[in-house]
Amino acid sequence: MAFAGLIVVVATLVAGAAYLRYQAQQKRRAALFVVANGLGFQYSAEDPNATIGLPFALFGRGDGRGIDDVMWGDHEHVPMRLFDYWYYDESSDSRGNRSRRYHRFTCAALTIAADCPTLRIGHEGFFSRVGNTLGFKDMELEYEDFNREFRVRCEDQQFGFSLLDGRMMEWLLKMRSIETIEVVGPFVLLATGKLQPEKWTALARVAGEFHAHIPHVVWTTWPRGSA
């Protein structure tokens, strides 16, 4: 009887924890719906636009991955999507017990009017965690403060030097909360740690600022349709 009682207690605790997670998820989604309305965006709890299929290295990490809570629209005339992204690494111990370690982000993905060579910018710690998945060489820029803070890997160094002019590097040094930026063709990804709903509007603003800081030479040298 004692064992049966223990099972009931454990089952009750598990059900209670699941209910609390559900309630927190519903509260988050309601708050994100309000944020989307404020931005003039559409919102979905799932990923109706196949965002997970965009060609970013971050989306290939781990043993499993997914996207939740997507909002999309034009912000300051820039098409973008904001969303939660997660992936997990699966491992097993000496007894064969499997476990998962989750990594969670909130991201902004932009579509820009350029066909860019692949480039990735990340803080040193971020690259250490996710590994060298692109296989491109590190770039050294002329701004030592920037080199100390970030690592840059690029398919075409001419593009890297063109995008990362002094103005862009100064701006990036102020955006320490952004963990990584990827540019692949006309797509740009900005990823940070998972954000509370009230901070998503600021992420949309940061994404718009990144677009505004793209040097004119990028638009003229790598125009959309040139690749």
Task: Write out pLDDT tens, residues 182-203.
Answer: 999 999 999 999 999 999 999 9
Q: Note the pLDDT of residue 205.
A: 96
Q: Note the pLDDT of residue 225.
A: 75
For residue 201, which amino acid is it? T
Supply φ then ψ for residue 22, to 5 degrees: -65, -45
Q: Is residue 91 part of a domain?
A: yes
Task: Decide if pLDDT at 57 tops 80.
Answer: yes
Average confidence (pLDDT) over 48-54: 94
Q: Note the pLDDT of residue 125.
A: 65
Q: Is residue 76 part of a domain?
A: yes
DSSP per residue over 5-55, as a string? HHHHHHHHHHHHHHHHHHHHHHHHHHHHHHHHHHHT-EEESS-TT-GGGS-
Q: Residue 209 belongs to what domain range?
A: 2-221
The count of domains in the chain is 1
Q: Note the pLDDT of residue 207.
A: 97
Q: Is residue 226 part of a domain?
A: no
Q: What is the pLDDT of residues 110-156, one digit of tens each?
A: 999 999 999 999 987 665 444 444 456 689 898 899 999 999 999 89
| Alpha carbon distance 141, 124 (integer Å) | 15
- The alpha carbon of residue 118 and the mean position of all alpha carbons in its chain are separated, in whole angstroms, by 16
| Alpha carbon distance 42, 72 (integer Å) | 5
Q: What is the pLDDT of residues 157-174, one digit of tens each?
A: 999 999 999 999 999 999
Q: Is residue 227 part of a domain?
A: no
DSSP per residue over 71-104, as a string? EEEEETTEEEEEEEEEEEEEEE-TT--EEEEEEE
Q: Note the pLDDT of residue 14.
A: 52
Q: Is residue 128 part of a domain?
A: yes
- pLDDT band at residue 36, thresholds of 50, 70 and 90? very high
- Secondary element (H or E) of residue 185: strand 178-193
CB under 8 Å to 122, separation ≥6 — which residues?
130, 150, 151, 179, 180, 181
Average pLDDT, the chain: 88
CA atoms within a 13 Å half-sphere pointing along the CA-CB vector of 41: 28
Tokens of 74: 């034009």
Task: Decide if pLDDT at 85 tops 90.
Answer: yes
Measured distance between the N- and C-terminal CA atoms of the chain, rounded to whole angstroms:
71
CB under 8 Å to 111, separation ≥6 — which residues?
79, 80, 186, 187, 188
Q: What is the dihedral of CA 73, 74, 79, 82, to 10 degrees?
A: -50
